[in-house]
């Protein structure tokens, strides 16, 4: 893992008036570029050659400048550093460049790159969730399965390849890999609240080390399970799958906001105990039971795709900001504020 | 029930230029305070001590002033009256202070408090729905159950504790209380249109006594039933429950707006026949069948939580107002207009 | 079919400074009138007498002027032409006036009326979808049914009357008409992306003949199947039906936008090959499988009701326009631009 000081050194060399926001043209890039444009920050899109046309189709969402590539195998760090770029590591960025690149690159990244390592390892993630004081689904080994469980295999990207099993026998029949995670199936409604933690801001949910802002909420839409009720009622057999293909919006009962903010607070407090703190956008993936208790089954230590529902703000940001504010815009605001206060090192690593 | 004249007297003592909007910090409070702020009306939040921090997290949704309490057992009416406060009785307000307090307090409340009594009693509610000319689900006694029915037990708050039964035997096995309501189960899609009825306004759907405005629509999200299809397809047994945990948005076919507005009109006309009229926000909870007929299973005679989806307006308010208008803001507008026209007594009781 | 030149002649007689937008008061009329008002174009609503009150209830969505009728049997073409009206043929317009009227009327209509003929015939529609290079569900005859299929009978309006069958025997038992279309049932999640194709515009997804803009996405809500999971979990038998009663919003994974835009591109390219080109709003109805492949089961060659979710713009239009832009407004913009550039004939037929 590259040292925090080394990134701080790179940042020192940056022309603070020419800072740019860069990311891969995928995932939440339109939102990130759109938000940066609203704040007057120039953007750079690392883009597959045949995807440029797609981004050009959105004049207010496309980057100001492209770095066209044939594949995402190599991060153009030198070029980006020369352009005073701060990378926003969204989900595809993390997936395409991979753990190794992200841990070693000299390119400054928004947030704490350590958090990406912690979200990326199932063991670390569970340690983090538990240390955060969150209720988590029970974990099983294949032999001890005694109730419905979700099995996530290691290769499973975006939910593709998840499976539900209820017994050791069913596990044996269905799971052929050796790298898996078995989690109790919790009945309820999935909720994906999006947060932003800022060590600079003083508005929002006040914490010792900064301020926690509730940005929005989504639920993921997964093919085929999301419309499986249609097959069920028609008597059509269907092996459910969990490939995330989109997102839909919702609000929760106002009285549940307390529990949700406290979950976010726990995640942040723990991140400081475990690895120097998480800053910027994150999401705590939860299930709300019929007793209105939340079980957390994942943390995303970065901007999540569900925020794409809200490029002009969400029901929650109406109560927090004077202007329509997406998570993408909030990132740009944080970078501007940090640059002004000469505290970039606190929100970028 | 305190007399209308007595409330009118309290209002006479109010400084019309210092009127404040007050409610309990729960349910739709962020929206109500946000809307009042947009209209330049100061707000007071009656708030549990350990919830203040939650409301402070939303600078544009928090109240201007708090009355901090240990519990909601006692309504601080004297303090509120001294501060020229008009209470907005949202769902939690009604639940926490209870029928008795609401019927007797000298505190002026937005709308007609009689309507809260009528929505709160199952018998009165049915009388109201029928008098409104609405199609309602058939009501059963335990012995006459001959089709799928929803049983709502008296303690059931927010849907928690609803059950589905299909025969007298099943009823006997499942229902242990003596206070219940048995309603035919209607197949279709739930629709919760939000209305605002104003005796002052002249825009909107014109009625004899004022104007009916269509604010927005939601559907409630209930745990566990809302995602029960996931259990079903995976072969996981689930006893469905109906605890409301959130809301999601939708629009209906434009040709259905007529039926929906006419349902709202019926409810208002009936409210004048039965108890002196309902003014302000309300919701008519309906099911839309595959023949595009609406069955009404409930009326909420106050702002509902589904309006929280639309703090900056809904698809329908775009067609009604020149500025982004939530139901919370609409309430503030009505109070301002009534104060200006010296007609507060018509919309406050 | 009336000749394009004849419509061009009618347009020549129009006072370009007094052009009006006209449509039937139904379907997407509020959005269309609202959008025209935003662009300063006066509107005319052809309206059933007892629906006028509904439209008057929406001061920013109602037309500037009404033509009140007892039924939609006769298109008031002379009156509309005298008023320099351009008709917007939304779904109800097409349904109420019918193929024959639409093909023969001298009234200028936004878009290419040929496209309505092509969307309205199942055979032509399939030819179009295939020529567009889209994956389509397999079509069956009653005898060859060997998997779950959706049967659409000819009278089926708005999904009412669709059925699912899995064998020739089941077909025989359930389907009593002789006019039907049998389509493979594809498992996945339905997606209804809304496009706008402009031969004038240069922003958006660049194509040989113009520019393709991605407006928004919805999913249709159909009674009773949309909430059939509630019956299923409660053990209530339900014959699913597919009557469209509303729409809900969603966004798709950003990486899927490419496939969606390319589907739209294929539809446009094909429309020029087959019948002189589709311009203006359209929708490609698709199912997204768990392999993230799209199957197209329909094209709507006109504004669809799902756009009613977005009268102030969608997550996607945020990235395309500087101001809140609905599909209704986009139509008005196109008419204005075409009038200014003296190219009305290209977007109106």
> Which of A118-122, B232-236, C283-287 has the largest mean confidence?
C283-287
Q: Do C189 and A224 touch (CB under 8 A)?
A: yes
Q: Of A41, A2, A4, which is closest to residue A23 (Cα–Cα)? A: A41
Q: Is the pLDDT score of A228 beyond 90?
A: yes
How is domain B4-135+187-347 classified at the CATH fold level?
D-amino Acid Aminotransferase; Chain A, domain 1 (3.30.470)
For residues A63-89, average pLDDT: 97
Q: Is the per-residue pLDDT at B146 higher than 80?
A: yes
Q: In the prediction, which pLDDT does C206 show?
A: 96
Query: Nearest by CB to C233, which of B240, B251, B316?
Result: B240
User: Where do you find CATH 3.30.470.20 in chain A?
Assistant: 4-135+187-347
Q: In this structure, what token pair is assigned to residue B101?
A: 């307090």
Encode pLDDT of B71-97 as tens digits. Answer: 998 999 999 999 999 999 999 999 999
pLDDT at C5: 96
For the cut 80, the answer to whether the pLDDT of residue B290 exceeds it is yes
SS (H, E, C) B68-102: EECCCCCCCHHHHHHCCEEECCCHHHHHHHHHHHH
The model's pTM: 0.97
Chain A residues closer than 8 Å to B57 by CB: 203-206, 212-214, 261, 320
Over chain A, what HEC string results?
Answer: CCCHHHHHHHHHCCCHHHCEEEEECCCCHHHHHHHHHHCCCEEEEEEEHHHHHHHHCCCCCCCCEEEEECCCCCCCHHHHHHCCEEECCCHHHHHHHHHHHHHHCCCCEEECHHHHHHHHCHHHHHHHHHHCCCCCCCEECHHHCCCCEEEEECCCCCCCCCEEECCHHHHHHHCCCCCEEEEECCCCEEEEEEEEEECCCCCCEEECCEEEEEEEEEEEEEEEHHHHHHHHHCCCCCCCCEEEEEEEECEECHHHHHHHHHHHHHHHHHHHHHHCCCCEEEEEEEEECCCCCEEEEEEECCCCHHHHHCCCCCCCHHHCCCCCCCHHHHHHHHHHHHHHCCCHHHHEC
Q: Residue A114: pLDDT above 70?
A: yes
pLDDT band at C155 (very low <50, low <70, confident <90, very high): low
The yes-or-no verdict on residue A156 having pLDDT over 70 is no
Q: Residue B54's pLDDT band (boundaries 50, 70, 90)?
A: very high
Both tokens assigned to A219: 């639920």
Give residue B153's pLDDT: 86
- Rounded Cα–Cα distance for residues C117 and C115 (Å): 5
- The pLDDT assigned to B76 comes to 97
pLDDT at A159: 73
Residues of chain A with CATH 3.30.1490.20: 139-184
* Predicted pLDDT of residue A157: 66
- pLDDT of residue B160 exceeding 80, the answer is no
DSSP labels, B135-179: --PPEE-GGG--S-EEEEETT--TTTT-EEE-SHHHHHHH---S-
> Can you say whether residue A13 is alpha, beta or left, with left for phi > 0 and alpha for psi between -120 and 50 degrees?
alpha
The residue among A318, A323, A324, A326 with the most chain B CBs within 10 A of its CB, best to mutate, is A318
Averaged pLDDT, C131-145: 97
Q: Is the dihedral of CA C325, C326, C328, C330 positive or negative?
A: positive
Mean pLDDT score, A104-126: 95
Q: pLDDT tens for residues C167-222?
A: 999 999 999 889 999 999 999 999 999 999 999 998 899 999 999 999 999 999 99
Of all residues in chain C, the one with the smallest CA distance to A161 is C290
Predicted confidence (pLDDT) at residue A16 exceeds the cutoff of 70:
yes
CA angle A142/A147/A148 to nearest 5° reads 90
B276 DSSP 8-state letter:
S
* Residue that wins the pLDDT comparison between C162 and B189: B189
pLDDT digits (tens, 9 = 90+) for A317-334: 999 999 999 999 999 999
C-beta atoms of C221 and B189 within 8 A: yes
CATH 3.40.190.10 fits A139-184, yes or no: no
- The CA distance from C7 to the nearest CA of chain B, in Å, is 30
Task: Provide the ipTM.
Answer: 0.96
Q: Which residues of B touch A313 (CB under 8 A)?
A: 312
Give contacts of A212 with chain B, Cβ < 8 Å: 57
**Contact (CB<8Å) C58/B315:** no
User: For residue C162, is pLDDT > 90?
Assistant: no
Contact C156, C113 (CB under 8 A): no
Task: Determine whether B100 is exposed, middle or buried from the number of CB atoms within 10 Å of its CB (0-12, 13-18, 19+).
Answer: exposed
pLDDT for A161 beyond 90: no
Are B297 and B229 spatial neighbours (Cβ–Cβ below 8 Å)?
Answer: no
Running DSSP on this structure, what letter comes out for residue B235? Answer: T
Average pLDDT over residues C25-46: 98
Mean per-residue pLDDT of chain B: 96
User: Between B42 and B156, where is the model more confident?
Assistant: B42
Integer Cα distance of A303 and C72 in angstroms: 51
Whether B256 has a pLDDT exceeding 70, the answer reads yes
Condensed to tens digits (0 to 9), the pLDDT of residues C8-23 reads 999 999 999 999 999 9
For the segment A288-293, the average pLDDT, to the nearest whole number, is 97
pLDDT given for residue B227 in this prediction = 97
Edge-first strand order for the sheet with A20-24 is: A65-69, A42-48, A20-24, A85-87
Mind telling me how many Å the CA of C31 is from chain B's nearest CA?
8
* HSE of C128, CA atoms in CB hemisphere, 13 A: 31
Q: How many CB pairs below 8 Å do chains A and C form together?
A: 144
Average pLDDT on C291-315 reads: 97
Cis peptide bond upstream of A224, omega within 30: yes
Angle (CA) C60-C63-C68 rounded to 5° is: 145
Residue of B nearest to A230 (CA): B229
**Mean pLDDT along residues A161-169:** 91
Neighbours of C273 (CB within 10 A): 12
Residue of A nearest to B239 (CA): A187
Antiparallel, parallel or unpaired: β B149-153 and A20-24: unpaired
Chain-chain contact of A290 with B234 (C-beta, under 8 angstroms): no
Q: What is the pLDDT of residue B156?
A: 63
| Residues of chain A found within 8 Å of residue C212, distances taken between Cβ atoms | 57
Query: Do the chains contact at C223 and B148, CB–CB below 8 Å?
Result: no
CB of C294 closer than 8 Å to CB of C255: no
Token pair for residue A4? 């925090």
């Amino acid at each position: 893992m590259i040292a925090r000081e080394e990134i701080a050194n790179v940042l020192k060399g940056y022309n603070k008036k020419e800072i740019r926001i860069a990311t891969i043209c995928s995932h939440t890039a339109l939102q990130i570029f759109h938000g940066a444009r609203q704040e007057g920050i120039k953007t750079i899109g690392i883009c597959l050659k045949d995807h440029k046309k797609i981004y050009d189709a959105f004049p207010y969402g496309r980057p100001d400048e492209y770095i066209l590539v044939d594949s995402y195998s190599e991060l153009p760090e030198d070029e980006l550093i020369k352009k005073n770029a701060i990378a926003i590591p969204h989900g595809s960025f993390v997936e395409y460049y991979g753990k190794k690149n992200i841990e070693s690159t000299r390119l400054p990244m928004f947030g704490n790159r350590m958090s990406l390592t912690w979200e990326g390892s199932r063991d670390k993630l569970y340690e983090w969730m538990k240390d955060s004081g969150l209720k988590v689904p029970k974990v099983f080994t294949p032999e001890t399965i005694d109730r419905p469980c979700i099995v996530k295999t290691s290769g499973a990207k975006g939910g593709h390849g998840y499976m539900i099993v209820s017994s050791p026998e069913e596990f044996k029949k269905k799971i052929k890999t050796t790298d898996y995670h078995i989690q109790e199936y919790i009945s309820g409604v999935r909720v994906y609240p999006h947060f932003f933690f800022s060590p600079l801001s003083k508005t929002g949910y006040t914490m010792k080390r900064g301020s926690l802002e509730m940005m929005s909420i989504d639920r993921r839409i997964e093919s085929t399970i999301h419309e499986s009720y249609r097959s069920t009622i028609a008597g059509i057999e269907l092996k459910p799958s969990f490939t995330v293909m989109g997102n839909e919006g919702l609000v929760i009962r106002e009285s549940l906001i307390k529990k949700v903010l406290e979950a976010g607070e726990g995640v942040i407090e723990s991140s400081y105990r475990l690895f120097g703190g998480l800053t910027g956008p994150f999401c705590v993936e939860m299930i709300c039971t019929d007793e209105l208790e939340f079980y957390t089954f994942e943390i995303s230590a970065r901007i999540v795709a569900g925020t794409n529902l809200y490029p002009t703000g969400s029901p929650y940001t109406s109560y927090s900001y004077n202007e329509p504010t997406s998570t993408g815009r909030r990132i740009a605001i944080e970078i501007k504020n940090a640059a002004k206060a000469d505290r970039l090192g606190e929100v970028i690593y």
